Amino acid sequence: MTSVGSAKKLVIIGSGIIGLCSAYHLLGQGWEITVVSSDPADDTTACGSAGAIANAQIFPVSEPGLFLKVPRWLGDPLGPLSIRPGHMPKLMGWLVKFLAAGTQARVEASTQALTSLLAPARDHHFELIKEIKAQDLLRQNGSLMLYHSERSRDKDAYQWAMRRQFGIEFSAVNRQQILEHEPALGPGAHCGYFIPDWCHYIDPQKLLAMLADYLRNAGVTFVGDRVDGFEFADSRPVAALGGQENNYDFHTCLVAAGAYSARLSEQLGDGFPLESERGYNTMLPNTGLDITTYLAFEEHFVLTPMAQGVRIGGAAEFAGLDAPPNYARSKALLKLARRYLPDLNDDGGTQWMGHRPSTPDSLPVISRSTGFSNIYYGFGHGHIGLTLGPTTGRLISQLISGKDPQISLSPFGIDRYT
């Protein structure tokens, strides 16, 4: 039996952006904080992300009529969606909930909830990077959303109208205006929108490394280990169980293990439908192009200019947590990019795959456990984990400290699918 000592111990399971930002906001509140994670420094999902502070991504993935598009996407080798046949039986329960989340009423509710989270995200990032002295990693060059034609742009008219309603600034751009931003774009970039307040990091991995170093210097302990379960005493969880019989005692525990979080929450009586929506990218060190703007494309992929070159990523593959990567997805994204950048040089590219922790309704879990007052959850942020890291960390710290969260967390409960 492991006995919890007299120290006020907090264990955070997960060293991604959510876990690190939660630790950051809990500094100075009397906690002895230990971050336990088996992820190496370059393998968290945020490190391989597009690096965006995506303040305009207010819509859930599921939407009315989406099921009509899925067969076409699955049949297109360059399409944004892939499902490995062997994973389909396990995926079905999640998929049913995903499609059910696409009714007009539920989409509107989810959009409201996501907007409440995203509204302060930009300011929260500014505060964080000022404190850890990482301002040089952020670029405020805006974002271009690009379309092949006015007709294809008009298909998204409702979403853009909703963005304007929620106070997101943007302007329509024609071909000439696009070239004024990015002269390298070919004729495939016919029209689009420009979002001036969009920001992106040129090195997300370095951002997390700097944040982790800041936390270490502040007294946070980091342990490289995989947590597989929990030890209980008097019907209450008191320790996280790591490998080689390593136990991490706690008074309070935060589960922020990304796509692996549901495996742990289930052991605590909080089952939740979480899937790994696997994303792919390729980092190109020498494209031969001078691009400074974050670019998003109607085919559901993005291009980010970064310190090491240009990162081209996107797509969604459902294959579970344990299947090996299929880097044909990365190659497909490069083919799509050449529709807009025909002179793109892809020599020396390095490929990457990461697990986006995705919920059926695209809303993260920011919640206390239903059964244990000393267990908290922060996971399921899908495509916007990096964006919402500082905001979620702030909300988690308010929950753990017994303060009223700055926004209502009722849409983000762990119990919404029980």
Classify 358 in phi/psi space as left (phi over 0), alpha (psi -120 to 50) or beta.
beta
Task: Report pTM.
Answer: 0.95
Ranges in the chain, pLDDT < 50 = 1-5, 42
| Predicted pLDDT of residue 40 | 61
| Predicted pLDDT of residue 4 | 45
- Rounded to a whole number of angstroms, the distance between the first and last alpha carbons of the chain is 32
| Predicted pLDDT of residue 1 | 36
Residues 281 and 356 sit within 8 Å (Cβ to Cβ):
no
| Predicted pLDDT of residue 3 | 42
What DSSP element (H or E) covers 254?
Answer: strand 252-255
35 phi, psi to nearest 5 deg: -105, 120
**Cα 102 to Cα 377: distance, rounded to the nearest angstrom:** 25
pLDDT one-digit tens code per residue, 54-106: 999 999 999 998 878 888 877 877 788 899 999 999 999 999 999 999 999 99
Residues 369 and 232 sit within 8 Å (Cβ to Cβ):
no
259 phi, psi to nearest 5 deg: -65, -15
Q: Which residue segments constitute the domains of the chain, with CATH numbers given?
A: 9-45+206-273+363-412 (3.50.50.60), 56-202+274-358 (3.30.9.10)
Q: Whose CA is closest to 388, among 136, 203, 123?
A: 123
Structure tokens at 372: 């244990």
Q: Whose CA is closest to 377, among 319, 320, 416, 321?
A: 416
